[in-house]
Structure 1
C-alpha cells in the first residue's frame, strides 16, 4: 500500500520507503562487520517486526538463521499490564549463540527489557537489539539498543509493520496516524 492510497488517514509521512531501505542497508553493513566470524540468530518479534526482519535479512550478505517470538504485555488493553506473556516461543535452541533481536519500534522499553533478560537467562552468548524505530521520549526503562534506525517523536505511527487495529501494516512508509482515525 502506498501513502497516496491512505493520504487522508495520515497527518504526515515521517519516513519514506526509500529512507527505510537505505537505513536497513546501513544497519546490515554494521551487523556484517560486528558478526563477521559468527553470524547471529535473528529473532523477530511478531507481528510488527515482519517487514523489518524480511527486508533486513535480505539485505545481509551473510547466512543467517531466523526465528520468531510473540510476546504481549497488553492483552486487550491499550496500556501495558506490566506482565509479559509469551504467545509464541522460539523453535531454536539459543544456548551459546549470539542473538540479535529485530524490533519494529521501541516505546516504553518494558517488554524489550523483559525479552532481553529472558533470552540471556536461556544461556545465549550475547543478546543485542536492532530496532528500526525508537521513541526516546516514551522510554520508561533504559534498554541498550545496539542498532537504531530512526529516533522519532512520541506520535502514533503506522506502516511498515506497525498497525492500528491490524490495519496499515502493509503501508510501505511510516506515517503519523491522523487522530480522526482512532478517536
Structure 2
C-alpha cells in the first residue's frame, strides 16, 4: 500500500528515506555492539517492519524477541500506566538489550519499559526508534538512535496504524483528521 492514499494528508517520510536511514543506522549499531551479545526487543505491533528491515541491515549476530505493552488512560492519551500484553520469552539478565521502537511520543511507556528491563538485570538497555515526536515528550528519555524527528501529528504507515489499518503502507504520513474525528 502506498502513501498516495486519499486518507493521507501529507507524506512525512518516504519508503526510500526509511531505507536510507536504516542503512545509516545499522553500521552505527553494529559498531556500538561489536563483540557483544545483543538482544533486539521489538515492541509489537508497530515495530515489526522496522525491526525486520533493521536486523537484516545489521552485520552483527543478534537474537530477537518481542513484547506487547499497552499504556492506557483516557482515549488516545497515555497515562504512563503500562500493562504487559505479551512478555519476553528470553531472560534478559546480563544481556545487552536494544529496544526497537516505531515511534516515541510522550516517552512514558518507554521510560517504564526501560526501567522494567533494567530491574530484570539487563546488562544494558538502549533504544532505537524510527520516529520521535519531540513536542509530545512528557519525560526525558535517553534514546541512543533516532531515525526522524517528526511533528506532533497523528501518523500512520510502516507499522503505525489507526484501528489496525494503514500498517502496510511503505512510508509514513499524517492521517487526515476527517478519518478519526
Q: Given the two structures, how large is their TM-score scaled by the length of structure 2?
A: 0.97
For 1:154-165, list aligned pairs within 5 A.
154-165=152-163
Q: Which runs of 5+ in 2 are unaligned?
A: none
Q: How far is 1:75 from its partner?
A: 6.8
Task: Choose the corresponding residue for 1:99, options 97, 100, 109.
Answer: 97
Coordinate RMSD, CA, aligned: 1.1
Question: Equivalent residue of 2:67, what SS?
Answer: strand
User: Cα deviation per residue 1:12-49 (whole Å; 9 max; x = unaligned)?
Assistant: 10000010011011111100111111141000000110
* Cα distance in 1 between the residues matched to 2:24 and 2:10: 25
> Deviations for 1:53-111, whole angstroms, at most 9, x for unmatched residues?
11001111121100000011127832223311100000001100100000000000000
Partner residue, 1:109: 107
Secondary structure in 2 matching 1:73: strand
Equivalent of residue 119 in structure 1, options 114, 117, 121: 117
CA distance in 1, matches of 2:7, 2:32: 40
Partner Cα separation in structure 2 for residue 117 and residue 35 of structure 1: 21
2-structure distance, mates of 1:155, 1:83: 22
CA distance in 1, matches of 2:15, 2:44: 21
Match of 1:3 in 2: 3
- For 1:179, the equivalent position in structure 2 comes to 177
Partners of 2:54 and 2:37 in 1: how far apart? 14
TM-score, scaled to structure 1 = 0.96
User: Is 1:17 aligned to 2:20, yes or no?
Assistant: no
* Distance of 1:165 and 1:105 partners within structure 2: 16
Unaligned 5+ segments in structure 1 are: none
The answer as to whether partners of 2:78 and 2:106 remain within 8 angstroms in 1 is no
State the match for 1:87 in structure 2: 85
Report the secondary structure of 2:72's partner residue. coil
| Alignment: residue pair count | 181
- Give the secondary-structure state (helix, strand or coil) at the position aligned to 1:57: helix
